[in-house]
Amino acid sequence: MKEALAPALYGLMAEFDSSTDLVVATQAAYDAGYRKMDAYSPFPIEEASDALGFHKTRVPLIVLCGGLFGGLGAYGLQYWINCISYPLNIGGRPWHSWPAFIVPTFEMTVLFGGLAGVFGMFALNGLPLPHHPVFNVERFSAVTRDKFFLVVEAADPKFDLVETHEFMQSLNPTSISEVPH
Amino acid sequence: MAEQIPQEHKLTTLEVLTLPGEYPVVAPGETFDSVTDTIADAVLKRPIGLGWLGGFLFAGFWVMILLIAVTYLFFRGVGIFGIMIPVAWGFCIINFVWWIGIGHAGTLISAILLLLKQSWRNSINRFAEAMTLFAVACAGMFPILHLGRPWLAYWLFPYPSSMGVWPQFRSPLVWDVFAVSTYATISAVFWYVGLVPDLATMREKAKHPLTKKLYGILALGWRGSARHWKRYESVYLLLAGLATPLVLSVHTVVSFDFAIAIVPGWHTTIFPPYFVAGAIYSGFAMVLVLAIPIRKYYHLENLITRRHLENSAKVMLATGLIVAYGYFFETFVGLYAGSTYERFMLQNRWFGTYAPLYWALIVCNIAIPQLLWIPKLRKNIGFLFVISLDILIGMWLERFVIIITSLSRDFLPSSWGVYVPTRWDWAVLLGTVGFFSACMYLFIRIMPSISIFEMRTLLPEAEVAEVHAK
């Protein structure tokens, strides 16, 4: 029975009533050697991602790259347009009148940096994803309200349905559910 | 593994925010449940009342007027407005500057106050951002309507045209295109990113399958994962960091439209800071005009407390004083610089054709708002509402005085003229007020008008107790 269930199972889900319980449980699971797991909460909890060992995101790097691309691109475009492709003599100013080019350069830096960050954040998060196994557990809908969840995936090398269940029981959750695929 | 964290008592967010003598940011006794229900049920459970319907239909009537005016404008051209030579910038530019200024308070609240860790902003940022979005939509219409051939507005963007012609990047009007379109895009993105976790809440709370599906699509499958939150918080903070200089740049660029020209009364270096301050001044007035009725009719007094209203009043008082300094300095420079034209411009403002509007502006923007110094009046909600309307009118008059007074009396007396707005000018102005109100009416019925997940973080139960040391 256990062998038959295992492949169909995404993982085990423990439910908690408070953010503190979630952080403590996540830390305990991490210390016990679980790695393929995730903590779910109705609002951002910095301590939860720390407990998962997830300290760094690549989002700032993506924003930097987007901003540099936007800024350099905008400046380059203006230079090419006003100095090479279509030079215009405006009040006798030099063709390469760089102070005037700063404003669009700045605006495009912000635009591309911001858009890269937002699209990058969603892409790294794997969103949009209309369905995910955790939604198969009915109680999980409370994650957008007032409940906190810890899910250990069956794909984790240390995962064993009986042992992990016992381990989760020791974390004092309000309930434990199996997460089907 | 466990970090050593000092065991001293840490104040909860609520304790920090509840300084003695001040109203709390969230009323005591609120919980995750009550916050979620209060905000979401205003959208999901509350039936559409006669008040909402009446207000929405009235706003819709003005949207119709706007559509008629715009159709007629496309048909006849800008000659239907009161503009002529020398006053080629009429209501369209006044309204553009006014609306975009109103939008700025939304970004100030959502981005700058976030960076300054002013967490009282959490209960007003959502609808302030919506206000920004709709105000920028209204503002963005005007330069296009003013173009003469609005259907060729895309000529403003640098694109490889078959004519081989490119924009002239030394012109502030081209900078405007970049500043305003970036501002509109970033504001929309910022607003939507903030909404995603709340849309997930709406998805779970909605009963009707269609509503559930629509919120579900918009929520993008948000499931509150700690890894997602981490990246989310990171990008939210970075967007705030980008939006902060952006909002300052937008009104600066708008002021360049004037300051870079040599028209008397426009050609001054005080314009950028004084325009930005004026923008925030009128924006906070609009925040109060919206917040006061919304909190009353949707019973959000526990979430948008008197603390928010009083803080907004203080911001208005401060920015109003910066604006007053701007007026004073304009006058001082006009008299001190020794330019005949500048001196004449001042004389014309004080005693010329449009002098009553100038004095009305001084009364609305400088004299009356000084009443905000009195704590009793500042705490009176009805008074705050009235004074906010007064400031909105004052700031509109300011743009009228700057644009019309200077243009109607420029260097050559032979080219002087008097500008009189036509009924179409008024139709477009009131039409955009209707459009803005209609959007706000729809917004408060469709989206959670307060950020639910950020309100949760303000509650004492959101604090993680220090139990790491095992």
How many Å lie between the alpha carbon of A111 and the closest alpha carbon of chain B?
Answer: 6
Looking at residue B12, the DSSP 8-state letter turns out to be: P
Q: How many residues belong to chain A?
A: 181
Residues of B in contact with A140 (CB under 8 A): 223
Using CB atoms, which residue from B36, B158, B227 is nearest to A81? B158
Residues of A in contact with B193 (CB under 8 A): 118, 121
CA distance B277 to B283: 10
Looking at residue A126, the DSSP 8-state letter turns out to be: T
The residue ranges of every structural domain in chain B are 13-148+169-462
Q: B201 and A111 in contact by Cβ < 8 A?
A: no
A176 touches chain B (CB under 8 A): no
How many Å lie between the alpha carbon of A114 and the closest alpha carbon of chain B?
Answer: 6
For B177, nearest residue in chain A (alpha carbons):
A104
The average pLDDT across A159-173 equals: 85
Using CB atoms, which residue from A104, A130, A145 is nearest to B204? A145
Q: For residue B356, with 0-12 CB atoms within 10 Å meaning exposed, 13-18 middle and 19 or more buried, which class applies?
A: exposed
Cis check: omega of the bond before A128, within 30 degrees of 0: yes
Q: B220 and A129 in contact by Cβ < 8 A?
A: yes
Q: Give the pLDDT confidence score for residue B123 in this predicted structure.
A: 81
Other CB atoms within 10 Å distance of the CB of residue A33: 9
Q: Dihedrals φ, ψ of A13, to 5°? A: -120, 125
Residues of B in contact with A45 (CB under 8 A): 226, 229, 464
CA distance B5 to B468: 8
Per-residue pLDDT reduced to its tens digit, A8-43: 788 888 898 888 888 888 988 888 888 888 999 998
How many Å lie between the alpha carbon of B196 and the closest alpha carbon of chain A?
Answer: 11
Q: B197 and A41 in contact by Cβ < 8 A?
A: no
A96 touches chain B (CB under 8 A): no
**Closest to B224 measured CA to CA, from A43, A145, A19:** A43
Tokens encoding B181: 């379109």
Q: A63 and B164 in contact by Cβ < 8 A?
A: no
Using CB atoms, which residue from A47, A81, A93 is nearest to B464? A47
Sign of CA dihedral B215, B221, B226, B227: negative
**Closest to B257 measured CA to CA, from B182, B176, B180:** B176
Domains and CATH numbers, chain A: 2-56+132-180 (3.30.70), 59-124 (no CATH)
A143 touches chain B (CB under 8 A): yes
Q: A38 and B230 in contact by Cβ < 8 A?
A: no
Residues of B in contact with A60 (CB under 8 A): 234, 238
Up-side HSE of residue B57: CA atoms within 13 Å toward CB?
Answer: 6
Amino acid in position A29: A
Q: Give the pLDDT confidence score for residue A7 in this predicted structure.
A: 58
How many Å lie between the alpha carbon of B303 and the closest alpha carbon of chain A?
Answer: 17
Residues of B in contact with A44 (CB under 8 A): 229-230, 232-233, 453, 457
B interface test, pick of A16, A103, A105 with most B CB neighbours within 10 Å: A103
Q: Give the pLDDT confidence score for residue B469 in this predicted structure.
A: 42
Q: How many CB pairs lie under 8 A apart between chains A and B? A: 209
CA distance B59 to B63: 6
A163: CB partners within 8 A, 6+ apart: none
Q: B227 and A85 in contact by Cβ < 8 A?
A: no
A interface test, pick of B35, B169, B193 with most A CB neighbours within 10 Å: B169
Using CB atoms, which residue from B2, B229, B249 is nearest to A44? B229
Return the beta strands (E) in B57-177 as ranges: none
For B184, nearest residue in chain A (alpha carbons):
A111
A169 touches chain B (CB under 8 A): no
The model's pTM is: 0.88
Per-residue pLDDT reduced to its tens digit, B55-108: 999 999 999 999 999 999 999 999 999 898 889 898 999 999 999 999 888 888
Angle at Cα B32 formed by Cα A13 and Cα B131, nearest 5°?
115
Using CB atoms, which residue from A125, A129, A146 is nearest to B33? A146
Q: Dihedrals φ, ψ of B415, to 5°? A: -105, 10
Low-confidence ranges of chain B (pLDDT < 70): 1-24, 466-470
- Contact criterion met (CB below 8 Å) for B469 and B4: yes
Q: Dihedrals φ, ψ of A152, to 5°? A: -105, 125
The average pLDDT across A62-82 equals: 94
Tokens encoding B266: 């426009």
Q: A59 and B238 in contact by Cβ < 8 A?
A: yes
Q: Give the pLDDT confidence score for residue A5 in this predicted structure.
A: 47
Q: B1 and A57 in contact by Cβ < 8 A?
A: no
DSSP string, B183-223: HHHHHHHHHHHHHHHHHHHHHHH--SHHHHHHHHHHHTT--
Cis check: omega of the bond before B86, within 30 degrees of 0: yes
Q: Give the pLDDT confidence score for residue A121 in this predicted structure.
A: 94
Per-residue pLDDT reduced to its tens digit, B146-173: 988 888 989 888 999 898 889 888 888 8
Give bridge partners of residue B225 from the DSSP assignment.
A40
**Looking at chain A from residue 61 to 90, which residues have their Cβ under 8 Å from any Cβ of chain B?**
63, 67, 74, 77-78, 81-82, 85-86, 88, 90
Sign of CA dihedral B22, B23, B26, B31: positive
Helix (H) or strand (E) holding B269: none
Q: B221 and A132 in contact by Cβ < 8 A?
A: yes
B interface test, pick of A110, A132, A146 with most B CB neighbours within 10 Å: A110
For A113, nearest residue in chain B (alpha carbons):
B242
**Closest to B70 measured CA to CA, from B85, B80, B56, B83:** B80
Give bridge partners of residue A40 from the DSSP assignment.
A149, B225
A interface test, pick of B41, B228, B453, B455 with most A CB neighbours within 10 Å: B228
Using CB atoms, which residue from B169, B189, B200 is nearest to A115? B189
- Contact criterion met (CB below 8 Å) for B26 and B302: yes
A108 touches chain B (CB under 8 A): yes
Looking at residue B394, the DSSP 8-state letter turns out to be: H
For B218, nearest residue in chain A (alpha carbons):
A128
How many Å lie between the alpha carbon of A2 and the closest alpha carbon of chain B?
Answer: 28
For B220, nearest residue in chain A (alpha carbons):
A128
Q: How far is CA B195 from the centre of its chain?
A: 18
Residues of A in contact with B176 (CB under 8 A): none
